[in-house]
Structure 1
Amino acid sequence: MNLPVPPVFLFEPEYSRYEVMDGQQRLSAIVAFYTNRFKLSGLEYWPELNGFQYDDLPPLIQRGLDRRRLSAVVLQSNALKEDYDDLRKIVFERLNTGGQKLNAQELRNCIYSSSFAKLLVELAGYDSFNDLLGMPRYDDNIIRGQISSDLAENPFFKRMIDCELVLRFFAFRKKANIKGSVKSVLDKCMVANLETDGDELDEQAADFRTRIDMAKELFGDDAFKIRESKKDQEKVSPPYYDAIIIACDRQFSNRAALIKKRVALKKALDAAIAKEDVYELIVGRANTADAIKQRLDLVEKIFIGVM
């Protein structure tokens, strides 16, 4: 139709190397259409082309598409290499104004692209983790790159909340790292792991999976659920997840003893959460660094107490 498409924005950290800062969906859609991975649908104009893949189009229309161009705005970096991440983050956040605004974890996934970022996605698809979040399993719902509607619409998956929960495990493991805002703690964890690879990544993956397995053995599929105040239902609580998974991590060497005492442990946790001040600390209090440290320490003390 010869209507203009808004320009894409590219970041050039070094000569002739580019990162897409804004326009990833446009570029991906064009590539996917040219490789016949989806069909046209919902066309208001030229509705007779609905249902066509690229190869199905008349040659004249194919040539018309082929001669079109996307304009690009290239942002060059004059910053020192160590300042790239900050500069990329500023640029990306300023450009991220159209469509559905990305949340913090979606931004991290774009800005801090690395083997560690890929590991977070991989671990988010761990079967036991999916079960504990009460969400469809990745393995059953991603077939040859196609995502089922059940998984695609799941709130944990749809906005990468499951990946952020995995990140929280790694970010909160060391008490010394818990300072400043939660956002900065999570961002710093991504930065600290930009170069992590090989055996270290394998070790991190094994640590997460074994702690998830421990939580499931101790509390079953409701390990991260807590009853909402004044409501007769339970739901997954990220702050409670933090406390349980970090307690499992800190007390992993006592796993066998804790499993033997799992009934007593569940009763002790339920009794503690029934107290208004404890419930407020775990669920109601703001996610400040001090509140996080307090709830992590409190739940760990309960673990230790039953032994």
Structure 2
Amino acid sequence: MALQDEIELKSKEIHTENLSMSLGEIISMYEQGDLDIHPEFQRFYRWSDQQKTKLIESILLNIPIPSIFVAQRPDGIWDVVDGLQRLSTIFEFLGILKNENNELVAPLKLEKTNLLPSLENKVWSSDNGDEFTDVQQRYFKRSRLNFVIIQKESDSSSKYELFQRLNTGGSSLTPQEVRNCLLIMSEEDNFEKLKSLSEEESFLNSINISDKNLDEQYDKELTTRYLVLKGFEPDELSSISDLSTFLDDEIVKFFENDNLHWDAVTDNFRRTFNLIDDSMGSDAFKKYSIEKDSFYGGFIVSAFEMIAINIGNNLDYWEERSERIEGKIKECWQKISDENISWKGYSASGRLPKTISVGREIFGNES
């Protein structure tokens, strides 16, 4: 298909409308349940009170604010695709923001800024004289924001694609936090399922990653890799151009598969990491020194891909031979040394076929 044909085909799949709305109208939509800002996302955003204050300052000073992107659902409700933190900040300042448990969040108290130092300690309303005046409140609610609406006639994947593009690159979110949001947008239960696996004790023991990595959702990133990569042949992974985008797309497909049997997935995950933890503990995914016959250093993602995925794909076999797992892991590192296999500096498409192929050869069914 020629480029122009592709452009014309894809452009027909996305229908958008631009609309300018007053904050008063937006507030009313939120209070009536016509605007879904996904309060579950709040756990992944990290705006400081100073950043929030600067947004309120921008509204007061009529400084342009980027457009809010929403997707119109079949029931007419607007799903916020980009702009959650901006809208949440406005609602938090007004004292109407609710968290994922439908509880009111404490109202935002503003901080001093260079342009408006008198904003310090200001709130929307109070009994002690620090509130906005009636005039200031009216002006604030008459301020306008621009909305880009992805209409319901658009291709069903459009909002995921748009969210992914707008929340990567310069965003404060990690790739896995963006992925978590995509799962929540598709079905909140999907994220909860992924989260439940990532909290398995044997899994956490065996990966043994830092608190910083946990804060950045790396445990869920590894869970995602396990679920997704188990379903691919090594040569199928050689065409991956960007691993993060690949995982974004594939984990949504994984959970939306009509043939998914979650009980079986959970059973496989638990048994795999119980087996690895019982056999190796926190040494499982460390580098192995052949000369010193010891495991050393910290967690290595290539070892995780090489070992966990292939044990998981031959679980019944290795559960009956658990006493051989440590030797098989050492055998993987011996093969890497003997054949001078290296993945340092390689992209995902260069690394994954190597790591998974080595593990498949060593941890394949030997019968």
Normalization by structure 2: what TM-score?
Answer: 0.62
- 1:213 paired with 2:287, answer no
Q: Does 1:168 align with 2:225?
A: yes
Provide structure 2 residue ranges, at least 5 long, that are not aligned to the other structure.
Answer: 1-56, 96-103, 290-294
Flag the 1:219–1:4 CA change in 2: closer, same or farther, 3 A: farther
Letter in 2 for 1:131: N
Identity %: 21
Higher helix share: 1
Q: Which residue of 2 aligns with 1:190?
A: 251
Question: Any idea what the Cα deviations from partners look like across 1:269-295, whole Å, max 9, x if unmatched?
Answer: 3423434623x15x554321x752442
Mapped contact 1:120–1:166 kept (Cα < 8 A): yes
Residue 103 of structure 1 deviates from its aligned partner by 4.7
Number of the residue aligned with 1:88: 159
Which letter does structure 2 place at the counterpart of 1:118?
E
| Letter aligned with residue 261 of structure 2 | E
**Do residues 157 (structure 1) and 215 (structure 2) align?**
yes
Cα distance in 1 between the residues matched to 2:320 and 2:227: 24
Q: Which runs of 4+ in 1 moved over 6 A?
A: none
Task: Write the mapping of 1:227-266 to structure 2, written as runs, cut at 5 A.
Answer: 234-266=297-329
Aligned 8 A contact 1:36 1:55 in 2: no
Aligned twin of 2:112: 43
Instruction: Provide the residue aligned with 2:330 in structure 1.
Output: 267
- The answer for the alignment partner of 2:178 in structure 1 is 107
Deviation digits for residues 174-200 of structure 1, max 9, x if unmatched? 235944314454244223234369983
1:193-223 deviation digits (Å, cap 9, x = unpaired)? 3436998333322322221222212221121
Matches of 1:201 and 1:62, distance apart in 2: 54
Query: CA–CA distance in 2 between the matches of 1:291 and 1:120?
Result: 25
Name the counterpart of 1:77: 151
Q: Distance in 2 between matches of 1:256 and 1:97?
A: 40
Letter in 2 for 1:37: A
CA distance in 2: counterparts of 1:117 and 1:260, whole angstroms = 35
Max Rg structure: 2
Range with bigger deviation, 247-256 or 8-17: 8-17
Question: Could you say if the C-alpha distance between residues 173 and 54 of structure 1 is closer, same or farther in structure 2, counting changes exceeding 3 Å?
Answer: farther
Q: 2:199 aligns with which of 125, 132, 135?
A: 125
Residue 96 to residue 265, structure 1, CA distance change in 2 (3 Å): closer
2:132 equivalent in structure 1:
61
Question: In the aligned structure 2, how far is the partner of 1:199 from the partner of 1:97?
Answer: 28
Q: Secondary structure at the match of 1:43?
A: coil
Quickly say closer, same or farther: Cα 1:301–1:93, change in 2 above 3 A. closer
CA deviation digits over 1:148-198, x for unaligned, max 9? xxx5xx13432x332221111111112359443144542442232343699
RMSD: 3.9
SS of residue paired to 2:78 = strand
| CA spacing shift, 1:241–1:55, aligned 2, 3 Å | farther
CA contact (8 A) 2:268 2:315 kept: no
**What SS is found at the alignment partner of 1:37?**
coil
